[in-house]
Structure 1
Amino acid sequence: MRIFSHTCSNTEIVCALGCGDQLVGVDADSDYPPEIVSRLPQPGRDLDLDTRAVLALKPDLVLSSLTVPGHERIVDEFTALGLRTITCDPQSLEDVFDDIATIAEALDVRERGAQLIAQMRAQMPAVTVAKQRPRILVEWWPKPVIAPARRSWVNDMIELAGGRNPCGDIDAKSFSLPDDAQPYIADAVVMSWCGVQVDKYRPEIVRRREQWQHWPALRDERIYPITEAWLGRPGPRLVEGYAALRRIIQSVEAGAARG
Structure 2
Amino acid sequence: MQKNGIRIASLTPSNTEILHALGLIDQLAGIDDYSDYPANLLENVPRLGPDLQIRMEDVIAFKPDLVLASLSVPGMEHVVEQLKSTGLPYVVLNPKSISEIWETIRLVGELTGTSKQAALLIDQYEQRIHAVRAAYVHLEDRPRLYWEWWPHPCISPGGQNWLTEISHLAGAKNIFADVDRESVIDAAEEVKRCNPDYFLAVWCGVKTEKVPYKKILERTGWQLVEAIKQKRVYILEEGLYCRPSPRLVDGLESLVKIIHPK
* TM-score calculated relative to the size of structure 2: 0.92
**SS of corresponding position for 1:142:** coil
Q: State how far apart, in whole Å, the 2-side matches of 1:218 and 1:86 are.
A: 43
1:158 corresponding residue in structure 2 = 167
- 1:92, CA displacement in angstroms? 1.6
Q: Does 1:173 align with 2:182?
A: yes
1:42 corresponding residue in structure 2 = 47
Instruction: Specify which of 128, 135, 150 is matched with residue 144 of structure 2.
Output: 135
Q: How many residues align?
A: 252
Instruction: Specify which of 219, 223, 230 is matched with residue 229 of structure 2.
Output: 219
Is this contact kept in 1: 2:152–2:186, CA < 8 A? no
- 1:247, CA displacement in angstroms? 1.3
- The CA deviation string for residues 213-241 of structure 1, in whole angstroms up to 9 with x for no partner, is 22221111100011111001111211221
2:62 corresponding residue in structure 1 = 57
Is this contact kept in 1: 2:137–2:168, CA < 8 A? no
- The CA deviation string for residues 29-76 of structure 1, in whole angstroms up to 9 with x for no partner, is 111112321111102111211011101100000001111111111111
Q: State how far apart, in whole Å, the 2-side matches of 1:4 and 1:229 are.
A: 20
Q: State how far apart, in whole Å, the 2-side matches of 1:43 and 1:165 are.
A: 35
Q: Does 1:210 align with 2:215?
A: no
Q: Which runs of 5+ in 1 are unaligned?
A: 255-259
Q: Deviating runs (4+, > 4 A) in structure 1?
A: none
**SS of corresponding position for 2:69:** strand
1:70 corresponding residue in structure 2 = 75
Letter in 1 for 2:32: D
1:233 corresponding residue in structure 2 = 243
**SS of corresponding position for 1:136:** strand
**SS of corresponding position for 1:48:** coil
* TM-score calculated relative to the size of structure 1: 0.93
Is this contact kept in 2: 1:136–1:190, CA < 8 A? yes
Is this contact kept in 2: 1:133–1:162, CA < 8 A? yes
2:7 corresponding residue in structure 1 = 2
- 1:183, CA displacement in angstroms? 3.5
RMSD of aligned residue pairs (Cα, Å): 1.4
2:108 corresponding residue in structure 1 = 103
Greater shift, 165-174 or 210-219, is seen at 210-219
Q: State how far apart, in whole Å, the 1-side matches of 2:76 and 2:170 are.
A: 31
Q: Which runs of 5+ in 2 are unaligned?
A: 1-5
- The CA deviation string for residues 69-108 of structure 1, in whole angstroms up to 9 with x for no partner, is 1111111111101011111111122111111111111111
**SS of corresponding position for 1:18:** coil
- 1:211, CA displacement in angstroms? 3.1
Greater shift, 239-248 or 166-175, is seen at 239-248
Letter in 2 for 1:26: I
- 1:184, CA displacement in angstroms? 2.7
Is this contact kept in 2: 1:13–1:235, CA < 8 A? yes
Letter in 1 for 2:216: V
